[in-house]
Structure 1
Amino acid sequence: MELTFLNDLGQSFVIEIDPGMELENVMALLEVESGIPVNEQSISFEGRELTNTKATMRALGVTDNAMLVIRRRVQVAGRSAEQDAEMMRLQILGDPQLMRQLHETNPEIAAAALTDPARFAELLRQTRARQVEAEHELDRLNADPFDVESQRRIEEAIRQQAVMENLEHALEYSPEAFGRVTMLYIPVEVNGHPVKAFVDSGAQQTIMSPECAEACGLMRLVDKRFAGIARGVGTAKILGRVHSAQMKLADLHLACSFTIMEGRDVDLLFGLDMLKAHQACIDLEKNVLRIQGREVKFLAEHELPDKARIMESGGPEDQPPATSSGAVGSSSQPQHFPGSGSTLGGPPAAGVGRGAPAAGAAAVQTRYPEEHINTLMGLGVSREVAISTLDAAGGNIDVAASLLFS
């Protein structure tokens, strides 16, 4: 049978045993898993402490997939809850491996253990209270197997547990998926002016901002007959087109055309038209742009332009670009440099692009109190998981917290 043990810090330990194994042998296994000595273990099941160490798990009424609670027994008589919390805090501080695990599972408690004993005791008390409530809630849900609402909540709890297991699997085996991807920039010169160009194979045309065109001395060459409106994720005003200008890339001097478009996120976007015209190849294995036999290394993160670092760090967004009438767009989504990863002149792509999730996120922010969401996030989950768990718990913060430990 498979058994799950929860401790006071919200950590879980899963062991597989034979139903005929005696409790004392299970406790020996738990000592290896949890680090709690056998003589200090207190194991509870369905609100009752298991004290007969010679009895088998089957005889104690423990069934397959059961959830039990393991606590460290206080050895000194008359110790208060505050002293108990302080003893646990000192034990955590004295065990680097346990501290590291706590940082991963509950960074708020780990930080309090280091800097604020009173806050640590309060968080520990809240965690214990939530675990007790979780046990009672589980008993209530299992009390009536024919109650449709109870079964729905159990089903959602199981689904949420699968989500958390999937998250833990991803964190363990593919942690790089949670890292920040640095965009591809290369150093170029346009008319002798140095520019850091954003390489974007998803943009149909090579785009330059009016400010960059002015700095490169190209505004006098803008053909305004090609002015118009670019539609993609949002809209932006096209001022015109520079049909030919010299771009230096490595030791190559290439003839390039630029669409001059309003936008403040990127000075120069090296698009698919020029990539294909010069038969360039984006080589991610070597982290270079290969073009006409030359290899131009992509810029490291610290070499990116300031605007790029602000965007990638989730900093303040630019205001929406002006429409052709000069009015500021009314969309609530942040408007990034148009053309990046979208078709110029094409219809707006609803729900696609860097700014698309913003409206949806704003829509769910007011469904539950922010302090409830922040409390769940303090337990080591993302905002999305916190909100979905509140959905599963019907908005009950205590039940939601208990689901995270189920």
Structure 2
Amino acid sequence: MKLTVTCDLTGAHVFPLEVSGDMEMENFLALCKLEIFALNDVPMSQLSIIHDGRTINVNENNLKKTLTDWKICDDDIIMLVADKPTTSSKQPRYSNAQISDLVKSIRVPQDNMRRENNEQRNNEVAHLRMLFDGLRNNPESRNHLRNVAPNLVAAVEQNNFVMGQFCSYVVPNNDSVEDMFKTQYFAERKSAFARERAMLDPTSAEGQRLIAEQIQRENIDFSHQFAMEHMPEAYIPVTMLYIKMKINGVEVKAFVDSGAQVSILSDSVAQRCNLMRLVDKRFQATVHGVGGAQQLLGKIHACQVQIEEQFFSCNFDVLANRDIDVLLGLDILKRHRCVIDLQNNCLRFGESAATYFLPDSEVPQRNLERFGTAHASTANVEVDSAKLASLMALGFEEAAARAMLIQCGNDVEAAAANLLARQSTL
């Protein structure tokens, strides 16, 4: 049978074992101690086994029992716990009633459900116990989570850290942050166990796939960190290029778009500039572009455009219900030999005129919102409290975890990887 053995809440010590069902508990524990360095010096009498929501206390009477005798099956998860040495102030063990509370609080699948449901139940029981033990034995983690999930911490602390009370609180059937945190925690631990087991055999197809994914993730994380350090401006929205100009004596703000084939005037600006009388309606049509289908009202063959102190003759297509008032396309830019000079932040019209691009404060607001929609959706990310709690449970500071979740768009795996990478470089 294949078993997954762990002794750590964080999953740092997780390894698979393939043993026979008739292996005695004494030999099984000896094999586990060889794999886990921290348990080498711990006597077997001070070890406990957590399996399927029950605690098996190791003693001379059960060391000779087999794994099958303890109802340990294929693909089960087992957690080894080293009991603290006996002192004058003993820590009370869980009573049978408390263990019964734990079992009752877990939703057990019906007998006719598939084997996968039983495996999921076993995983959830083990993870729930690991979560409880981690919060009970780590005051620092409890303090980190107190502001994010106060009810979860209270469920651990009340009634002298009773496991049954904790399980009764965190079972599903409500939409609280703590339930989301628990569900996500279980899913992440199950995925971590599966990856760990598959990667132990690098020659298998699944192991090769996971290794390739890990290498790809590391490369992406490296490029992300490199960009954040050397090119932080890549994550700042770029203001589109606008200039001031006058059409028929009326001042307007024009959007410079070298990717547009023709120059465009909105019908509202044409009316404001008193140019509707020059619209040739023989060119009416329905045009299709990036913004979808739009109504072309006609064409202005020539009108006077003033750039600084110089005048130029330009032609425009007039569109109805256009978001941008004026668009200078490639036809005008090529005709007047325009140069987009980004070094000097200006638009040059041949050798005769040049005008500076507008700063952010003068760009039309509706256009700024239109082009900044994608960035705004990322910048205004609302941090998922459950994911923040899971990062804090790993020991990260709340401020750093919150900032990284915003940066990664609430992708908790990417945020955790970036935080770990940052710690390793310190």
Provide TM-score, normalisation by structure 1.
0.50
SS of residue in 2 equivalent to 1:203: coil
Show the counterpart of 1:149.
Answer: 206
199, 205, 223: which one pairs with 2:280? 223
| Equivalent in the alignment of 2:372 | 313
Q: Aligned pair 1:293/2:349, yes or no?
A: no
Identity %: 32
Deviations 1:207-266 (A, max 9, x none): 101111111111111001122233333332211111121112111122211111234321
How far is 1:145 from its partner?
3.6
Q: Which residue of 2 aligns with 1:241?
A: 299
Q: 1:266 to 1:400 in 2, by over 3 A?
A: closer
- Separation (CA, whole Å) in 1 of partners of 2:355 and 2:152: 52
The one of 245, 256, 275 equivalent to 2:314 is 256
Matched, 1:280 2:338: yes
Work out whether residues 195 and 210 of structure 2, in 8 Å CA contact, stay in contact via their aligned partners in 1. Answer: no
- For 1:150, the aligned partner's letter is G
Pair 1:129–1:51, CA change in 2 (3 A): farther
Aligned to 2:326: 268
C-alpha distance in structure 1 between counterparts of 2:417 and 2:268, whole Å: 53
* SS of match in other structure, 1:240: strand
- CA offsets, 1:269-311, max 9 Å, x none? 0112222222221110010112243321100111101221111
1:184 aligned to 2:241? yes
CA distance in 2, matches of 1:252, 1:236: 33
Moved more, 183-192 or 172-181: 172-181
Instruction: Give per-residue Cα distances to partners, 1:50-102, cap 9 Å, x unaligned.
Output: 999xxxxxxxxxxxxxxxxxxxxxxxx99955731366x5xxxxxxxxxxxxx
Query: Does the 8 A contact of 1:131 with 1:402 survive in 2?
Result: no
CA contact (8 A) 2:267 2:322 kept: no
Task: Go from structure 1 to structure 2 and tell me whether the alpha carbon gap of 1:50 and 1:187 turns closer, same or farther (over 3 Å shift).
Answer: farther
> Normalising by structure 2, what TM-score?
0.48
C-alpha distance 119-275 of structure 1, shift in aligned 2 (>3 A): farther
Structure number with greater Rg is 2
Partner of residue 163 from structure 1, selected from 220, 230, 248: 220
Which protein has the bigger helix share? 2
Structure 1 residues 198 and 48, CA gap change in structure 2 (3 angstroms): farther
Structure 1 stretch displaced more, 267-276 or 126-135: 126-135
Partner of residue 303, structure 1: 362
Letter in 1 for 2:207: S
Q: Classify 1:240/1:132 alpha carbon distance in 2 versus 1 (closer, same or farther; 3 Å).
A: closer
Say whether 1:205 aligns with 2:234. Answer: no
CA-CA distance at 1:203 after TM superposition: 1.4
User: What is the letter of the counterpart of residue 303 of structure 1?
Assistant: E
Change in 2 beyond 3 A, CA 1:401/1:211: closer
**Contact 2:266–2:321 (8 Å) recurs in 1:** yes
Count residues with an aligned counterpart.
250
Distance, in Å, in 2 between the alignment partners of 1:266 and 1:257 is: 17
The Cα offsets for residues 123-171 of structure 1, whole Å up to 9 and x where unpaired, read as 9x97998886676445312333443223312321221221111111111
Q: Aligned in 2, Cα 1:225/1:205: closer, same or farther, shift over 3 Å?
A: same
Gaps in structure 1 of 5+ consecutive residues: 1-7, 10-45, 53-76, 90-111, 317-370, 387-396
**Residue number in structure 1 paired with 2:141:** 85
Segments of structure 2 that go 5 or more residues without pairing to the other structure are 1-8, 11-34, 42-88, 92-134, 154-176, 376-385, 392-400, 422-426
Q: Distance in 1 between matches of 2:416 and 2:186?
A: 10
What secondary structure sits across from 1:181 in the alignment?
Answer: coil
SS of equivalent to 2:219: helix
